Amino acid sequence: MEQLFTIGQLSKLFNTKISTLRYYDEVGLLKPAKVDPKTHYRYYTTVQFERLNVITYLRTLDLSLDSIKDFFEARDIPKLEAMLREQQNQVERQISTLQNVKTRISARLSQVEDALNSNLGKIELVELPDIPVITLKENYRPNEDIELPISVLRQRYKVNKNIFLGKIALAISKEQLNQRKFSEYTELVLILEPGDDNKATSFLPAGRYLRLRFHGTHETAGKEYQELMDYCQKHNFEINGNAIETTLIDYGITDDLSKYVTEIRIPITD
């Protein structure tokens, strides 16, 4: 006589929850060998052991229950091969996605560490490479809600709303800089990094920049712009493009205003 096992015994043998085994029964994936008509207790044999082993293996590969049912209904090698190939493709897509996430996290950590180690309040002359960006020509004042223009940029260029942290910059035009008008920004700039899927609409050009990092936000940046313009005048530098202003550490990272770090970069030539 074939030995019968209760659902509790099967659960312990395969380290599978009883509720999961009941669900497998309900969806027709793993029917018990026998159900007591009076108690409705489920009983299983070693035949179900083999099937549960296959189910557990395929679930480990993250195949859906529907796919597993299709396999059992077809029960042939080509069907299994097709399922595994599709699952392999999905895993490769997941790996690519996770690699992009890892790249973004590394970039954000580097940015924060760089900001924390900045020589704040000191004007520096730096050489920067081309930086891919997406720009939106939109006038913006520091006391206005920046989320609205960000939403416009995201919708217009179909940008994933989850990639904005630490990457939004504001621009002041060359003309306004020369007129020493620092109260209104003329562009919203999304700085693209490795791992971003969106195509750049332009580049922040490679070259020499004056850079000033300071404790503060967009609302307090006017004084720093004055310092940069005075420095340009004193050293006979010519402004060669728009100023780019980025908050390296802000409300997305900390609620402590005293720890905010903002950067202004102005492209210059001799």
For 217-251, how does the pLDDT look when each residue is reduced to its tens digit (9 = 90+)? 888 899 999 999 999 999 999 999 999 999 888 87
Same fold, 5-75 and 116-269: no
Instruction: Report the candidate in 240, 241, 245 with the shortest Cα–Cα distance to residue 261.
Output: 245
Do residues 132 and 192 lie in contact, with contact meaning Cβ atoms separated by under 8 Å?
Answer: yes
Instruction: Please tell me the distance from the alpha carbon of residue 79 to that of residue 67, in angstroms, as a whole number.
Output: 10
Render pLDDT for 39-82 as a digit per residue (tens, 0 to 9). 989 999 998 998 899 898 888 888 889 888 888 887 777 877 88
Q: Would you say domain 5-75 falls under CATH 3.40.50.620?
A: no
Each residue of 187-218: b (16+ CB within 10 Å) or e?
bbbbbbbebbeeebeeebeeeebbbbbbebbb
pLDDT of 222: 92
Q: Residues 6 or more apart from 16 whose CB is under 8 A from it?
A: 10, 52, 56
116: tokens are: 């924390």
Homologous superfamily assigned to 116-269: Regulatory factor, effector binding domain (3.20.80.10)
What pLDDT score does 5 carry?
92
Whole-model pTM above 0.85?
no
Other CB atoms within a 10 A radius of the CB of residue 256 amount to: 9
If phi > 0 it is left, if psi is from -120 to 50 it is alpha, else beta; for residue 249 that is beta
Q: Given the structure tokens 């189910």, which residue do they identify?
A: 55
- Pairing state of beta strands 168-172 and 123-128? unpaired
> Greater confidence, 46 or 253?
46
Report the alpha-carbon distance of residue 64 to residue 17 in Å, rounded: 18
pLDDT at 197: 72
Whether the Cβ atoms of residue 120 and residue 215 lie closer than 8 Å to each other: yes
Q: Domain extents for the chain? A: 5-75, 116-269
